[in-house]
A and B are shown apart, each in its own frame.
Chain A
Amino acid sequence: MTPAATLVRMTGIDKHFPGVHALRSAQFDLHPGEVHALMGENGAGKSTLMKVLSGIYQPDGGTVEVSGEPATINGPRAAQALGIGIIHQELALMNDLTVAQNIFIGREPRRSFGRLDEAKLNADAQTIFAQMKVRIDPRAEVRTLSVARQQMVEIAKALSFRSRILIMDEPTAALNDAETNELFAIIRGLKAEGVGIVYISHKMDEIRRISDRVTIMRDGAYVGTVSAADTPIETIISMMVGRALESVHVDIPDLTSAPVALEVRGLNRGRIIRDVGFSVKQGEILGFAGLMGAGRTEVARAIFGADPRDSGEIIVHGKPATIRSPQDAVAAGIGYLSEDRKHFGLALGLDVRANVGMTSLARFSNAMGVLDEAALQKTAQDYIAQLAIRTPSDRQEVRLLSGGNQQKIVIAKWLLRNCDILIFDEPTRGIDVGAKAEIYRLMQALAADGKAIIVISSELPEVLRLSHRIAVMCEGRLTGILPGGPGTRQEDIMRLATQKHGAPEEALA
Chain B
Amino acid sequence: MTTLPAATPARKPASGAQQKLLAFASLIALLVFFSVASPNFLQTSNMLAILQATSVNGVLAIAATLVIITGGIDLSVGTLMTFCAVMAGVILTNAGMPLPLGVLGAIAAGAVCGTISGTLVAKMKIPPFIATLGMMLILKGLSLIISGTKPIYFNDTPGFSEISTGSLIGRIIPSVPVPNGVLILFVLALVIGYVLNRTVLGRYCFALGSNEEAVRLSGVNTDAWKIAIYALAGSICGIAGLIIASRLNSAQPALGLGYELDAIAAVVIGGTSLAGGRGSILGTMIGALIMAVLLNGLRVMSVAQEWQTVVTGGIIIAAVYADMLRRRRAAS
Please give the residue numbers on chain A whose beta carbons come within 8 Å of chain B beta carbons, in ascending order.
304, 306, 325-327, 329-331, 336, 338, 343-351, 354, 357-359, 361-362, 365, 368-371, 373, 384-388, 390-393, 395-397, 413, 417, 438, 441-442, 445
Contacts and interface: CB of A to CB of B under 8 A. Distances in A.
Given A362-B200, A384-B7, A392-B10, A345 B1 contact: no
B278 interface: yes
Given A329-B219, A361-B200, A368-B199, A388 B3 contact: yes
A178 to B, nearest CB: 35
B277 A349 contact: yes
Contact of A347 (B9, B15, B214): B214
Given A331-B219, A369-B200, A354 B207 contact: yes
A393 B10 contact: yes
6 contacts: A326-B220, A330-B218, A358-B215, A362-B200, A388-B3, A396-B11
A346 B211 contact: yes
A445 B1 contact: yes
A472 B219 CA distance: 28
Nearest to A357: B203
Interface in B107-133: none
A236 to B, nearest CB: 38
B4 A347 contact: no
B175 interface: no
A346 B214 contact: yes
B230 interface: no
A326 B216 contact: yes
Contacts of A384: 7
B43 interface: no
B154 interface: no
B207 A327 contact: no
Contacts of B204: 361
A346 B218 CA distance: 9
B200 A304 contact: no
Contacts of B214: 343-347, 358
Contacts of A362: 200
B13 A391 contact: no
A330 B219 contact: yes
A343 B204 CA distance: 16
B210 interface: yes
A370 B201 CA distance: 9
A417 B219 contact: yes
Contact of B217 (A326, A395, A442): A326
B203 A345 contact: no
Contacts of B10: 392-393, 395-396
B218 A326 contact: yes
A387 B7 CA distance: 13
Contacts of B329: none
Given A354-B206, A393-B10, A385 B217 contact: no
Contacts of A346: 211, 214
A350 B276 CA distance: 12
B11 to A, nearest CB: 6
Contacts of A370: 198-199
Interface in B1-41: 1-4, 7-11, 13, 15
A371 B200 contact: yes
B198 A373 contact: yes
B305 interface: no
A364 B1 CA distance: 26
A418 to B, nearest CB: 12
* Closest 3 pairs (CB-CB, A-B): A330-B219, A393-B10, A347-B210
B219 A327 contact: yes
Contacts of B215: 347, 358
B7 A371 contact: no
B1 A387 contact: yes
Nearest to B10: A393
Nearest to A386: B1
Given A343-B214, A369-B199, A370-B198, A392 B207 contact: no
Contact of B201 (A358, A359, A369, A385): A369
A347 B2 contact: no
Given A338-B217, A345-B214, 15 more contacts: A330-B218, A344-B217, A347-B277, A349-B15, A349-B210, A349-B211, A350-B277, A351-B13, A354-B207, A358-B215, A359-B220, A387-B1, A392-B9, A393-B9, A442-B1
